[in-house]
Amino acid sequence: MKAPPFHYHAPDDLASAVALLATLENARVLAGGQSLMPMMNLRLAGPDHLIDLGRIADLRRIEETPQGLRIGAMTTQRALEKSDLVRRLCPLLAEAVALVGHQQTRNRGTLGGSLCHLDPGAELPVVAAALDAVLHVAGPAGARRIAFRDFPLDYLTPSLAPGEVLTHVDIARAPANSGAAFLEFNRRPADFAIVSAAATLTLGVDGRITQAAIALGGVSHAPVRLAQAEAGLIGARASVSAWESAAHLAAQSPCDGDELYPADYRQELSGVLVRRALAIACQRAGGAAHV
Amino acid sequence: MNERHGGGDWIGRSAARVEDQVLLRGGARFLDDIVMPDLAEATFVRSPLAHGVIRSINCDAARALPGVHAVYVFADLRRVLTQDAIPLALPAGGLRFDVDPTCLAIDEVCYVGEPVAIVVATTRRIAEDAAALVELDIEALPVVVDPVEGLQPGAPEARLTCPDNLVARTKVDYGDVEGAFEGAAHVVRETFRLNKGGGHPMEPRGVVARHDELTDQLTLWNSTQMPHRAKAMLVATLGLSERQVRVVTPEVGGGFGTKAVFHPEELATPAAALLLKRPIKWVEDRFESFTASIGEREQIWTVEAAFEADGRLRGIRGTLVYDHGAATPYGIALPFNAATNLIGPYILPAYRMLIDLCLTNKTPAAPTRGAGRPQGTFVMERLLDRMALRLALPRDEIRRRNMIAPGQMPYTIPVKQRDGSMMVYDSGDYPQSQALALKAAGWADFPQRQKAAREQGRFIGLGLANYVEATGRGPFESVSVSIGPSGQVVVSSGATAQGQGVKTMLAQVVAQVLDVAPQSIHVVVGDTSATPAGLGAYASRQAVTAGNAAFAAATLLANKAKIAAAELLEASVEDLVIREGVVEVKGVPGHGASLTQIARALAGTPGFALPGNLPPGLSAASDFMTSGLSYTNGCHLAEVEVDPDTGGVKILRYVVVHDCGRMINPMMVEGQILGGVIHGVGMTLFEWMRYDREGQPLTATLADYLLPTSDVAPRLEIHHLESPTPLNPLGVKGAAESGTIGAPATIVSAIEDALRPLDIRVTQLPVTPPQLRKLIRDAQSSELRP
Amino acid sequence: MFDPRPIKLTVNGKTIEATVEPRVHLADFLRKQLALTGTHLGCEHGVCGACTVLVNGATARACLMLAVQADGCAVETIESVASADGTLHPIQAALSRHHGLQCGYCTPGVVMTLLELQRESAGSALPEDKIRTALSGNLCRCTGYQGMVDAALEILG
């Protein structure tokens, strides 16, 4: 099928993009096009105006900041995958981004596109949730920051006001003595996850856990943080039983399901993936290999 | 034969394919690559509901859109049609209702995707814009989605014109079935639900229709497996003579059964072209492939098997419910194939399978690679595994005890086939096939490897299955071979090519006789004007039928060339051989006449006699008529690892022993096995055409319907046996579907083995992780924790 | 034509200036406006990989990229892969040798994917699992992938 007709705009700068988006009726932002274009080709989406951010050079960058990483929204997934900076400062993102689709789609798909599209099975929103990413948005009323946890409003719906554009994302650098792991379960490796789990752990000098973050994807319209499980890990010693406790809470976390992958199955997967991700994260943090 | 008659050494060689060069360069001409002046493009307005009555279709807005040439509904096209329906159904005694499809829905729609109107415009995108403006008012009717429910009393009618949904009833029945069960030492019972899947060639279907006023000829370029049948349909439905219709296949990007059936668009498009008086192209998009192209696989089997105390089969009986879909685009042979293929390489003394075909409000069903046989094999192999487990017999041993011995060949099973003949296995060594496979896969030491893996917390299993496949279905195929004054060898056949390497196969066979390079031979397939009679690609038949026809035609041509050469060379025919395209006197290299020279001589010179008083032209034609089906067989072994926590399955290793008789091109035979097995892997673990309760398709994109990808497809190890069939001169049997047939049974056997000692019984295809996880959970996972 | 746009790009090294409708994707532009029909469409929703081309050296689904987005880009298609004298690229030749194609519909996309892989690997040997992962974005229904994996292993392994 072919996309329905639309007007095309390719502004060179952010201000023009915001102005277009704020003034045109039924306008949509085109980032990498790896989600929007299929929907348009299937005639499930029919914007009257497409505003292509591809010509705005500012939106493609990966920079080290005192806090960590600043990544432009139009940075391709492939650029993240290849970036030494990302590997060094944010190994969780590096691990997850390699699991996004196929190389042919990562070459064009962007960080911003994935975060704004908010597919429940997507990898990058789960990373953003686990790492408390801060999103920077530009709009007619100026710029603002949004904590990722406040970003998803509903299924495929980000908290963006009319005319607002995601410009860049701040991600804190992984602390010393920390480890992270991203695991997902799917039928074929490049598919969207049925359930995915991101975990980070930091170990103190005494071997006790000083920081933990766990996020699940595929269980709801947006990534879910497991606050109770995280709290339970703080102060605990790295151990199989610690992972089991967290996994138990993960498996009890409320979950959506469908006929093919019912909620109870996704909950089981949540438990399994959290247990495994924590063990790997701990090992990467320098913890004992046997746990 | 080479010693005595000359000829080449091409049969049996993995020769480079004649098809590859142009495909690799991107220069091949597929259907959508065809362009011509004034070519308009079409799309179809399709039913959004699974069942309903059309109240009105308002095309005004669509017709008014700039760039739109026409919007036609059935009443418009009817003006050029001789009859409402497309007379597709193959003859079958069991058929109770006539549910031939129509090229556009008349007043009732019976599945989502059924074409209702055709929109023709300057471009496809404008046609789609216009299609969106067609106002379709359909009154929804109750739907039948599940074929078992559809046969219950009080079920809604899938078609208002049929009093119930039992569109056909047939059976396989022989031996003393009651007696087999009365005296049985053991009986196993099971119900299997095998779900819908499809062929899904990477190139969707498509047609270009052009009527030439000057010659009054309608040409249909058609991405089809059966152009001659398509032509017959056009002749019948458009009221044209054979001379007025030509169907040509361009390069075809895969078929797998999907393109064997004549679909409504193959008539609607040329009918529209006749009305509009301009050429029209329609290319199926992927959403249409999922909703408008045939698929199959959905069968529900309730079976029981009676065994002797030592594990030998006494009899099998049961019922098979088959999802026929909303129309009869083919015949009712598919579930019959499934039921008869259950027997496989085993001695089954008594057998009764009652087969009910249920009309449903889903896309019509017709054969897809395997054509019901994977299902039948799956059921038999599951029953054997169940019995082995109960008797504590090794799974290979129960099979060995039941196998037909090579000394019993030909082996007759008292089942009447479509052509009225009995089912006769012609050749094959089933015990040797299994023995070789077991050895190759390390069956004997697998228990130790499994134990070692279990100690590391890994759950691996080895599964096996045996199967046969009836190949080379008749009644005939035609080939002509000709060499003109240019010296070009041209082979024309009613066979068709969708990627199997049919052109290479025919070229190799002809090259064998004429001793020329296959690459130098020009092969024409899939053109009704090049070969008056033909059938095409179905039932793994073309190497058998067209291959032997090519061999016979080339041999006739060679003999004619020798007679002509005998006169030209003043030699005796018996002393002549063909070497490198030259007819020469045996033992006197250099003293000969090239085939080109002979072709020139036989082209005739005004007023002069033809050499040898031969009829003109260096050409010959032959029809190969089958005298029975040739049975390919094989044994598959798969090693899998199951993650009991997630229900995930990974295939670690896959071994195939395959016997399709003599191989013309072993590389291409292996290509067929590889593609077939991976199709079977899809059927077992990934592919499932799902519908909701309203008959809405849930998996109508390639993101939702999961085809196997390179990272989940296992590497295959293939071994060959060659038991030539006595049924044709080349001794060849078909190879195109057998890979698919063995895979589901093999992989599921391995999954169950990986999870022992739990008595997991997989009764559904595909095996999805949540279902497997549920089986594991239900079987008390305490024993499984590493 | 709705909202026609002029674009200028290079395709297989040749500078092309054209006017396109914004909704026309790169694959349709190549196929219909430039008659480069070696780039095939198998799904138009970005899954099958038959339409894979190189854009500025990186593989892209040509059905998910608008022709207007290619303005200023360098596009390479299957038609550019063999030498001008007709000699097949080693990847193409290996695919034939290993029976890595049957119907050939997915083949152009497969070749473009392997071409990117070859350029990126810059001579370092790739293991089979990496090759299988790279090819997982190209669906093939005929070959079971083994022939194309073996071809890639011969060239890149």
Residue A81 pLDDT exceeds 70: yes
Which CATH number does the domain housing residue A196 bear? 3.30.390.50
Verify that A165 and A209 share a domain, yes or no. Answer: no
* Predicted confidence band of residue A133 (pLDDT cuts 50, 70, 90): very high
Q: Does B769 touch chain A (CB under 8 A)?
A: yes
∠ CA C147-C150-C155, rounded to 5°: 130
CB-CB under 8 Å, C48 with B26: no
Q: Which helix (H) or strand (E) holds B639?
A: strand B630-643
Verify that A237 and A207 share a domain, yes or no. Answer: yes
Taking contacts as CB-CB distances below 8 angstroms, the residues of chain B near C12 are none
Q: Does C66 touch chain A (CB under 8 A)?
A: yes
Verify that B569 and B607 share a domain, yes or no. Answer: yes
Length of chain C: 157
Position B419 scores a pLDDT of: 78
Comparing CB atoms, the residue among B17, B256, B709 nearest residue C139 is: B709
The Cα–Cα gap between A186 and B769 comes to 9
Residue A99 lies in a domain: yes
Task: Report the number of distinct structural domains present in chain B.
Answer: 2
Residue B225 pLDDT exceeds 60: yes
pLDDT in tens, A11-67: 999 999 999 999 999 999 999 999 999 999 999 999 999 999 999 999 999 999 999
**Residue with token string 């099979």:** B399
Taking contacts as CB-CB distances below 8 angstroms, the residues of chain A near C68 are 8, 10, 52
Residue C104 pLDDT exceeds 90: yes
Is residue B254 left, alpha or beta, with left meaning phi > 0 and alpha meaning psi from -120 to 50? left
CB-CB under 8 Å, C69 with A33: yes
**Which residues, at least 6 apart from B470, have a Cβ–Cβ distance to it below 8 Å?**
B337, B340, B341, B423, B539, B629, B630, B631
| Residue B556, helix vs strand vs coil | helix
| DSSP H helices in B132-238 | 147-150, 177-182, 227-238
What is the chain A residue with the closest CA to C51?
A104
pLDDT in tens, A234-289: 999 999 999 999 999 999 999 999 999 999 999 999 999 999 999 999 999 998 64
pLDDT in tens, B453-501: 999 999 999 999 999 999 999 899 999 999 999 999 999 999 999 999 9
Which tokens is B638 given?
Answer: 């798969």
> One-letter amino acid identity for B114?
E
Burial class of residue B64 in the structure, from the number of CB atoms within 10 Å of its CB (0-12 exposed, 13-18 middle, 19+ buried): exposed
The Cα–Cα gap between B343 and B337 comes to 10
Position B588 scores a pLDDT of: 86
Comparing CA positions, the residue from B269, B215, B213 lying closest to residue B238 is B269
Residue B4 pLDDT exceeds 60: no
Comparing CA positions, the residue from B198, B118, B265 lying closest to residue B697 is B198
For residue B682, the 8-state DSSP code is: I
Position B786 scores a pLDDT of: 45
Residue A104 lies in a domain: yes
> One-letter amino acid identity for B280?
I
Residue B782 pLDDT exceeds 80: no
* Predicted confidence band of residue B258 (pLDDT cuts 50, 70, 90): very high
- Beta strands A62-64 and B206-212: pairing type? unpaired
Residue B150 lies in a domain: no
CB-CB under 8 Å, B709 with A190: yes
User: Do residues B241 and B1 touch, judged by C-beta distance below 8 A?
Assistant: no
Q: Does C48 touch chain B (CB under 8 A)?
A: yes
pLDDT in tens, B371-381: 999 999 999 99
Verify that B732 and B616 share a domain, yes or no. Answer: no
Verify that B493 and B615 share a domain, yes or no. Answer: yes
pLDDT in tens, B33-77: 999 999 999 999 999 999 999 999 999 999 999 999 999 999 999
Comparing CB atoms, the residue among B124, B648, B709 nearest residue A185 is: B648
User: Do residues C52 and B202 touch, judged by C-beta distance below 8 A?
Assistant: no
What is the chain B residue with the closest CA to C81?
B25
CA separation, residue B782 to residues A269, B37, B261, B456, B757 (Å): 17, 71, 51, 17, 11
* Predicted confidence band of residue C67 (pLDDT cuts 50, 70, 90): very high
* Predicted confidence band of residue B2 (pLDDT cuts 50, 70, 90): very low
Task: Report the number of distinct structural domains present in chain A.
Answer: 3
Average pLDDT value for chain B? 95
Which tokens is A106 given?
Answer: 């990562």
Comparing CA positions, the residue from B328, B291, B323 lying closest to residue B47 is B291
The Cα–Cα gap between B130 and B784 comes to 59
Position B203 scores a pLDDT of: 98
Which CATH number does the domain housing residue B546 bear? 3.30.365.10
CB-CB under 8 Å, B701 with C132: no
Phi, psi of C44 (to 5 degrees): 60, 15
- How close is the nearest chain B Cα to the Cα of A43, in Å? 10
Taking contacts as CB-CB distances below 8 angstroms, the residues of chain B near C42 are 202-204, 286, 702
* Predicted confidence band of residue B90 (pLDDT cuts 50, 70, 90): confident
Lowest mean pLDDT among B292-296, B316-320, B535-539: B535-539
Average pLDDT estimate for A118-124 = 97
Position B417 scores a pLDDT of: 83
Verify that B522 and B414 share a domain, yes or no. Answer: no
- How close is the nearest chain A Cα to the Cα of C74, in Å? 15
Helix axes B373-391, B333-341, angle to 10 degrees: 30
Position B1 scores a pLDDT of: 41
The answer for B 749-778 residues in CB contact with C (under 8 A) is none
Lowest mean pLDDT among B179-183, B477-481, B611-615, B696-700: B611-615
DSSP string for B110-162:
-STT-EEEEEEESSHHHHHHHHTT-EEEEEE-----SHHHHTSTTPPPSSTTS
User: For the domain C90-156, what is the CATH code?
Assistant: 1.10.150.120
Verify that B559 and B620 share a domain, yes or no. Answer: yes
CB-CB under 8 Å, B30 with C142: no
Q: What is the share, in percent, of chain B residues with pLDDT greater than 70?
A: 98
What is the chain C residue with the closest CA to A54?
C69
Q: What is the share, in percent, of chain B residues with pLDDT greater than 90?
A: 92
- How close is the nearest chain C Cα to the Cα of A248, in Å? 33
Comparing CA positions, the residue from C10, C44, C22 lying closest to residue A30 is C22
Verify that B721 and B595 share a domain, yes or no. Answer: no
Q: Does C39 touch chain A (CB under 8 A)?
A: no
Domain boundary among B625, B646, B664: B625
CB-CB under 8 Å, C99 with B17: yes
Position B6 scores a pLDDT of: 66
Residue B781 pLDDT exceeds 80: no
Burial class of residue C35 in the structure, from the number of CB atoms within 10 Å of its CB (0-12 exposed, 13-18 middle, 19+ buried): exposed
Q: Does B132 touch chain C (CB under 8 A)?
A: no
**Which residues, at least 6 apart from B407, have a Cβ–Cβ distance to it below 8 Å?**
none
* Predicted confidence band of residue B311 (pLDDT cuts 50, 70, 90): very high
Best of C24, C53, C105, C135 to substitute, by most chain B Cβ atoms within 10 angstroms, is C105
Query: For chain C, give me the number of helices (H) and strands (E)?
Result: 5, 5
What is the chain A residue with the closest CA to C137?
A102
Other C-beta atoms closer than 10 Å to the C-beta of B517 total 17
CB-CB under 8 Å, C46 with A38: yes
Position A212 scores a pLDDT of: 98
Residue C49 pLDDT exceeds 90: yes
Verify that A272 and A221 share a domain, yes or no. Answer: yes
User: Do residues B701 and A182 touch, judged by C-beta distance below 8 A?
Assistant: no
∠ CA C113-C151-B678, rounded to 5°: 85
The Cα–Cα gap between B455 and B647 comes to 19
Q: Does C135 touch chain B (CB under 8 A)?
A: yes
Our measurement of the distance from residue B706's CA atom to the centroid of its chain's CA atoms, rounded to an integer in Å, reads: 20
b/e map A131-157, b = 16+ CB within 10 Å = bebbbbbbbeeeeeebebeebbeeeee
Comparing CA positions, the residue from B541, B369, B341, B461 lying closest to residue B758 is B461
Domain boundary among B625, B654, B685: B625
Residue B663 lies in a domain: yes
Task: Name beta bridge partners: A200.
Answer: A180, A213
Average pLDDT estimate for B95-115 = 96
The Cα–Cα gap between B368 and C127 comes to 35
Residue A84 pLDDT exceeds 90: yes
Lowest mean pLDDT among A149-163, B89-103, B555-569, C87-101: B89-103
**Residue with token string 């920079």:** A63
b/e map B239-269, b = 16+ CB within 10 Å = ebeeebbbbbbbbbbbbbbbbbbbbbbbbbb
Verify that B648 and B681 share a domain, yes or no. Answer: yes
Best of A51, A103, A106, A117 to substitute, by most chain C Cβ atoms within 10 angstroms, is A103
Q: Does C65 touch chain A (CB under 8 A)?
A: yes
∠ CA B321-B322-B326, rounded to 5°: 130
Verify that B689 and B773 share a domain, yes or no. Answer: yes
Verify that B482 and B463 share a domain, yes or no. Answer: no
Sheet-wide strand order for A142-147: A62-64, A68-72, A165-172, A134-139, A142-147
**Which residues, at least 6 apart from B430, have a Cβ–Cβ distance to it below 8 Å?**
B345, B403, B404, B405, B406, B466, B468, B633, B635
| Residue B724, helix vs strand vs coil | coil
Position B418 scores a pLDDT of: 78
**Residue with token string 């099975």:** A121
**Which residues, at least 6 apart from A130, have a Cβ–Cβ distance to it below 8 Å?**
A92, A180, A198, A199, A200, A213, A214, A215, A223, A225
Chains near C with 3+ CB pairs less than 8 A apart are: A, B
CB-CB under 8 Å, A5 with B686: no
User: Do residues B236 and C75 touch, judged by C-beta distance below 8 A?
Assistant: no
Burial class of residue B390 in the structure, from the number of CB atoms within 10 Å of its CB (0-12 exposed, 13-18 middle, 19+ buried): middle
The answer for C 76-95 residues in CB contact with B (under 8 A) is 77-79, 81-82, 88, 92, 95
| Residue B636, helix vs strand vs coil | strand
Position A287 scores a pLDDT of: 81
Average pLDDT estimate for B638-664 = 97
Taking contacts as CB-CB distances below 8 angstroms, the residues of chain A near B708 are 188
Task: Name beta bridge partners: B625.
Answer: B476
Chains near B with 3+ CB pairs less than 8 A apart are: A, C
Residue A1 lies in a domain: no
**Domain C5-80 adopts which CATH fold?**
Ubiquitin-like (UB roll) (3.10.20)
Which CATH number does the domain housing residue A107 bear? 3.30.465.10
b/e map B295-324, b = 16+ CB within 10 Å = bbbbbbbbbebbbeeebebbbbbbbbbbbb
Verify that A183 and A222 share a domain, yes or no. Answer: yes
Position B92 scores a pLDDT of: 78
Verify that B621 and B633 share a domain, yes or no. Answer: no
Domain boundary among B601, B625, B649: B625
User: Do residues B147 and B358 touch, judged by C-beta distance below 8 A?
Assistant: yes
End-to-end CA separation in angstroms for chain A: 51
Please report, for chain C, the start and end positions of each structural domain, with discontinuous segments joined by +: 5-80, 90-156
Taking contacts as CB-CB distances below 8 angstroms, the residues of chain B near A194 are 769
- How close is the nearest chain C Cα to the Cα of A30, in Å? 10
Taking contacts as CB-CB distances below 8 angstroms, the residues of chain A near B132 are 4, 43
Comparing CA positions, the residue from B101, B119, B118 lying closest to residue B110 is B101
pLDDT in tens, B176-189: 999 999 999 999 99
The Cα–Cα gap between A164 and A14 comes to 10
Residue B5 pLDDT exceeds 60: no
Phi, psi of B690 (to 5 degrees): -105, 150
Lowest mean pLDDT among B129-133, B264-268, B526-530, B781-785: B781-785
**Residue with token string 């432009």:** A72
The Cα–Cα gap between A202 and B225 comes to 62
* Predicted confidence band of residue B449 (pLDDT cuts 50, 70, 90): very high
Where in the sequence is the domain holding B580, given as residue range(s)?
2-28+474-625
Residue A145 lies in a domain: yes
Where in the sequence is the domain holding A34, given as residue range(s)?
7-49
Comparing CA positions, the residue from A266, A219, A273, A209 lying closest to residue A247 is A273
Which tokens is B183 given?
Answer: 């005296």
Taking contacts as CB-CB distances below 8 angstroms, the residues of chain B near A4 are 128-129, 132
Comparing CB atoms, the residue among C78, C96, C102 nearest residue B499 is: C102
Average pLDDT estimate for B562-583 = 94
User: Do residues C110 and C135 touch, judged by C-beta distance below 8 A?
Assistant: yes
- How close is the nearest chain A Cα to the Cα of B36, in Å? 21
